[in-house]
């Protein structure tokens, strides 16, 4: 989403209805399972990937008992965690760049559903790498202004290895390299500062505008279809919307 509305988008996402929250928790459950399987087991102190995923779950208001059940289930049945991570890239209306990341147990189904979303949204699915060059992978942590002193948070995150500290309307955005994300997140957590969100994400280097009502309708339709797909974990785009 566009930078100037990030806190509004976070608030809107967390106020979704129960059905939408259920989809979010299903996706997070898959991330937990993958973290257990590929990160080194069910102990977050020995599995940094799992620890980061738990922090993400908590920032999305996933209940602690739900997190614990997901971890125990994955740890006890790790051989049956058969999700595959796949990334699809393409273009929305007016050439908006779109990246879709999925965790699926059926690659053919996922590809067909993602392609359907692109088509219905007036775009087309492209080849791997066709738009990813215009994004950069970063750690992104959002802290609402009411939860931290600006100067103290800036020093804390700089010491932890953050690359950038951005003051926004409503709070602060901290950007890190993927390698330093965990250290910065843990420093904020140790200081008992609440985070609105904390995740590794893809930020666009340039933004694209949609200029007609039809383009806006198509883009929103594409995003709505993708949001309702259980296989879809994350959608990144450079629409300045």
Domain extent listing, the chain: 3-80, 84-132+207-237, 134-204
The mean per-residue pLDDT over the stretch 104-108 comes to 94
In CATH terms, 3-80 corresponds, of 1.10.10.200, 1.10.600.10, 3.40.50.1000, 3.30.360.10, to 1.10.10.200
- State the fold for domain 134-204: Alpha-Beta Plaits (3.30.70)
Q: Which pTM does this prediction carry?
A: 0.88
Check residue 3 and give its pLDDT. 40
Check residue 15 and give its pLDDT. 66
Asked, colleague to colleague, whether 3-80 and 84-132+207-237 share their fold, the answer is no
Level-2 CATH architecture, domain 84-132+207-237: 2-Layer Sandwich (3.30)
DSSP labels, 69-138: HHHHHHHHTGGG---EEEEEEEE-GGG-EEEEEEEES-HHHHHHHHHHHHHHTT-EE--TTTTGGGEEEE
Summarised one tens digit per residue, pLDDT across range 11-66 is 666 666 667 788 889 999 999 999 999 999 999 999 999 999 999 999 888 999 99
Report the run of H or E that residue 200 belongs to, with start and end.
Answer: strand 197-204
Check residue 170 and give its pLDDT. 87
């Amino acid at each position: 989403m566009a930078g100037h509305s990030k806190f509004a988008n976070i608030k809107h996402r967390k106020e979704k209805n129960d059905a939408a929250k259920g989809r979010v928790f299903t996706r997070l459950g898959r991330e937990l399972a993958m973290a257990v399987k590929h990160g080194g087991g069910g102990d977050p102190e020995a599995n940094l990937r799992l620890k980061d995923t738990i922090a993400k779950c908590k920032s999305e208001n996933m209940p602690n008992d739900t997190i614990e059940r997901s971890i125990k289930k994955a740890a006890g049945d790790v051989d049956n965690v058969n999700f595959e991570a796949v990334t699809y890239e393409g273009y929305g209306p007016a050439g908006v760049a779109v990246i879709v990341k999925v965790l699926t147990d059926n690659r053919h189904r996922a590809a067909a559903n993602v392609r359907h979303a692109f088509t219905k949204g007036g775009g087309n699915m492209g080849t791997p790498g066709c738009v990813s060059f215009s994004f950069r992978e970063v750690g992104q942590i959002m802290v609402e202004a009411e939860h931290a002193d600006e100067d103290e948070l800036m020093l804390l995150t700089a010491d932890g290895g953050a690359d950038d500290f951005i003051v926004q309307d409503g709070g602060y955005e901290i950007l890190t390299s993927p390698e330093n994300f965990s250290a910065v997140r843990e420093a904020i957590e140790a200081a008992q500062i609440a985070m609105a969100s904390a995740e590794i994400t893809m930020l666009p280097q340039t933004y694209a505008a949609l200029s007609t009502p039809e383009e806006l309708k198509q883009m929103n339709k594409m995003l709505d279809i993708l949001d309702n797909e259980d296989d879809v974990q994350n959608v990144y785009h450079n629409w300045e919307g």
